[in-house]
Amino acid sequence: MFLEVINNQRLASDYYLLVTQSTASAQTRPGQFFHLKIGKKYSYDPLLRRPLSVHKVDRSKGRISFLYRIIGKGTKMLSFYQAGDRIDALGPLGKGFKTDFKNKQILVIGGGMGIAPLYPLVDSLLNSNQVTFLIGGNNQQDLKYFLDFPINSGVIFDAASIDGSIEFKGTVIDLWEKSYSAGFNPDFLFACGPKAMLRRVKLIAEERAIPGQVSLEERMGCGSGVCLSCVCHTNKGNQRVCKEGPVFSLQEVSLE
Amino acid sequence: MKEIDLSTKLGEITLKNPVITASGTCGYGQELEDYMDLEQLGALTVKGITLQAKTGNPVPRIVETPAGILNSIGLENPGLEGFLADKIKIIKGYQLPVFVNISGYSIEDFVLLAEKLAEISCIAALEVNVSCPNIPGGGLAFGTDPELIYQITKQVKAAYPGSVIVKLSPNVTAISDMAIAAQEGGADIISLINTLQGMAIDLERQKPVFANTFGGLSGPAIKPVALRMVYQVAQKIKIPIIGMGGIMTGQDAVEFLLAGASAVAIGTATLIHPDAPLMIIKEIKAYLQDKKINNIQEIIGKVLN
């Protein structure tokens, strides 16, 4: 299938928002990703596809958006795509977040680029649950897009930055611990972000017996489950981030 | 116009077309069923198995290189027992020939695997992997010594009544000597080539990217090397060759056929385009049509002296 570029816009420093038209929007679930072949049809460099998690789905317009950061050759080339260009893509791939909750207190925690895939999740939860959505990043500049993003008024939203350029200075975990843990024991939590952050989330969740899910990132090959490049360890043995993931049970996954 | 005959023979085995999936790039087939009709393939080579289950190497296991991939998967597989319990039933469901790739740490490992798999009738051939670069103390060590290749082949042949393919490593100075050793050991077919050993360094950590230091290079970057080796070996042996190494298109595949391969295997291409093998079959057919050739056998080995 192909994603047609509607807009590919620089947000801040290395951060971009890619809006595409896609027939796959109807079957795309929160937490899933697309695997994009960047470059000309017969170009072998970059050779592999690039996995991008879904940041926003607009079913009425048939649009799927991705947030990405330039970290190498593939994402650099992606940043040159313009409206009207087509991107060869596999997807939606992977298993998404669990979303069948009702009348629950739900905590959603995002760090850095890990914040991006949490928006469709928050969207799908907010009508029948109380959602607290906490995000964190290095500085105000990195978080600007997220801070400006319209959030439903029913969601409790707060942000932290490590350098103190937004009001709460510290990590998103510090924010949770200092401002949102007293008297607040969520029924379920979701997290996406750097491994170090996820490790702390797991530790705290285990202490307080909060069930949850995390979305993992790993160097990926095929995306179809055949190459076994992107495995993680769980109490069920090795699992593939591209196939059984990228969302895993916080209790079952090893983050060492 | 007459229907083009794409069928080819690998010893006793007849394939309806020369396109095979390479081991480790198609799982056990079912992973790719969403993307293609497997029955259109010439044959399927499933992920390599070892006697004991293996959890494989730590991540990262893959690095992209210019027009290539370095991998260090470390043969993650359910072991013989897991294979017999869970995977054989998948293979039984297929009509097409299925090749089972085996790896070991000792000659005894190979022989034990061959003995156990000899009891299973739905396997069309064993592919003996004497060339995995990613398991310490095994694999590659066998593939660089003609005497060991001869011994493994001979003993596997004695234990296994069906067709035996020997998959050779390119990490040697004289590939033909390895192929001759396999032929003398009784191999029915040769697979050429496994990955080329390489490495990558992480600039942040200032350490090798892979925990295992080295990885196996595949993809278009290695195609010229693979092609040269097929061409060299085809002149020295009588048994058929499955050519592989960076085949991305039908044109690439035709080059291998011209160089003397009786069939080709598609690996890295499938990781990028899960239906690549079927596209390649179509492109081979289109090439033959364009050249007004009705039988693929006419081009096999055509550039050999």
* A253 in B contact zone (CB under 8 Å): no
For residues A178 and A191, what is the distance between their CA atoms, to the nearest angstrom? 18
Work out the angle at residue A35's Cα, subtended by the Cα atoms of residues A33 and A39, and round it to the nearest 5 degrees: 145
Q: What is the mean pLDDT of chain B?
A: 94
Residues of chain A neighbouring B248 (CB-CB closer than 8 A): 44
B62: distance to nearest CA of chain A, Å? 6
| pLDDT at residue B279 tops 90 | yes
Which residues belong to CATH 3.40.50.80 in chain A? 105-249
Q: What is the average pLDDT value for chain A, to the nearest integer?
A: 94
Q: CB–CB of A227 and B56 under 8 A?
A: no
Of these residues, B26, B32, B114, B132, which one is catalytic?
A: B132
Looking at chain A, which residue has its C-alpha nearest residue B60?
Answer: A219
- Reported as a single tens digit per residue, the pLDDT across A193-236 is 999 999 999 999 999 999 999 999 999 999 999 999 999 999 99
Q: How confident is the model at residue A249 (pLDDT cuts 50, 70, 90)?
A: very high
The pLDDT score that the predictor gives to residue B135 is 57
> pLDDT at residue B238 above 90?
yes
Average pLDDT over residues B275-293: 97
pLDDT of B138 reads 53
Res. A85: pLDDT tops 90: yes
> In chain B, which residues have their Cβ closer than 8 Å to the Cβ of A42?
249
Q: How far apart are CA B222 and CA A18, in angstroms?
A: 34
Residue type, B278: L
Task: Provide the percentage of residues in chain B whose pLDDT is more than 70.
Answer: 96
- Tell me: pLDDT of B236 over 60: yes
Backbone angles phi, psi at B127, to 5 degrees: -105, 115
Give the pLDDT band (50/70/90) at residue A157. very high
Lowest-pLDDT range, A148-152, A237-241, B272-276?
A148-152
Q: Give mean pLDDT, residues A28-57.
A: 94
Mean of the pLDDT values across residues B251-256? Answer: 98
C-alpha distance from B219 to closest chain A C-alpha (Å)? 8
Tokens coding B222: 């290695």
SS (H, E, C) A196-240: HHHHHHHHHHHHCCCCEEEECCCCCCCCCCCCCCCEEEEECEEEE
Report pLDDT for A150.
86
The C-alpha of A114 sits at a distance from chain B's nearest C-alpha, in angstroms, of: 19
pLDDT for residue B132? 63
| Structural contact between residues B69 and B268, judged by C-beta atoms closer than 8 angstroms | yes
Report the top-level CATH class of B8-57+74-197+217-298: alpha beta
Query: Mean pLDDT throughout B237-258?
Result: 98
Contacts of B68 in chain A (CB under 8 A): 47
Listed in order, strand segments (DSSP E) in chain B are 8-10, 13-15, 19-21, 43-49, 62-65, 68-71, 98-102, 125-129, 163-167, 189-192, 196-199, 201-202, 207-208, 214-218, 241-244, 263-266
Complex ipTM tops 0.90: yes
Q: Which residue of B has its CA nearest to A226?
A: B27
Query: What's the CA gap between A3 and B25, in Å, rounded?
Result: 25
Of B244, B246, B255, whose CA–CA distance to B284 is shortest? B255
What residue spans in chain A does CATH classification 2.40.30.10 cover?
2-93
CA-closest candidate to residue B160, choices B190, B188, B201, B192: B188
Q: Does domain A2-93 have CATH number 3.20.20.60?
A: no
Put simply, the answer to whether A44 touches B25 (Cβ < 8 Å) is no
Cα–Cα dist A61/B275, whole Å: 30
- Residue with the two structure tokens 């050999």: B304
Q: What pLDDT shows up at residue B140?
A: 64
Average pLDDT over residues B110-131: 94
pLDDT (mean) for B148-172: 96
Cβ contact B279:B17 at 8 Å: no
Per-residue pLDDT at B54: 94
Q: Per-residue pLDDT for B147 more than 70? A: yes
Contacts of A230 in chain B (CB under 8 A): 59, 61-62
CATH number of the A105-249 domain = 3.40.50.80
- What pLDDT, on the 0 to 100 scale, is given for residue A183? 82
d(CA A96, CA A247): 6
Strand partners of residue B44: B21, B98
Mean per-residue pLDDT, A82-95: 97
pLDDT at B34 over 80: yes
pLDDT exceeds 70 at position B136: no
Q: What is the mean pLDDT of residues A93-108?
A: 96
B122: annotated active-site residue: no
Best mutation target among A218, A229, A232 (most B Cβ atoms within 10 Å) is A229
Strand-pair partners of B20: B43, B265
Helix (H) or strand (E) holding B290: helix B276-290
Does residue B143 come out as left (phi exceeding 0), alpha (psi in the -120 to 50 range) or beta?
A: alpha
Q: Which residues of B touch A226 (CB under 8 A)?
A: 24-27, 31-32, 47, 270-271, 274
Distance, CA of A117 to CA of B218 (rounded, Å): 32
Name every residue whose Cβ is closer than 8 Å to that of residue B143 and which is 6 or more positions away in sequence: B130, B131, B149, B168, B169, B171, B172, B178, B194
Please check whether residue A39 touches B, CB under 8 A.
no
The token pair that represents B259 in the structure block: 């160089």
**Partner residues linked to A19 by β-bridges:** A7, A65
Average pLDDT (B181-186) is: 98
Q: Which two tokens stand for residue A103?
A: 């009348």
Residue spans of the domains in chain B: they are 8-57+74-197+217-298
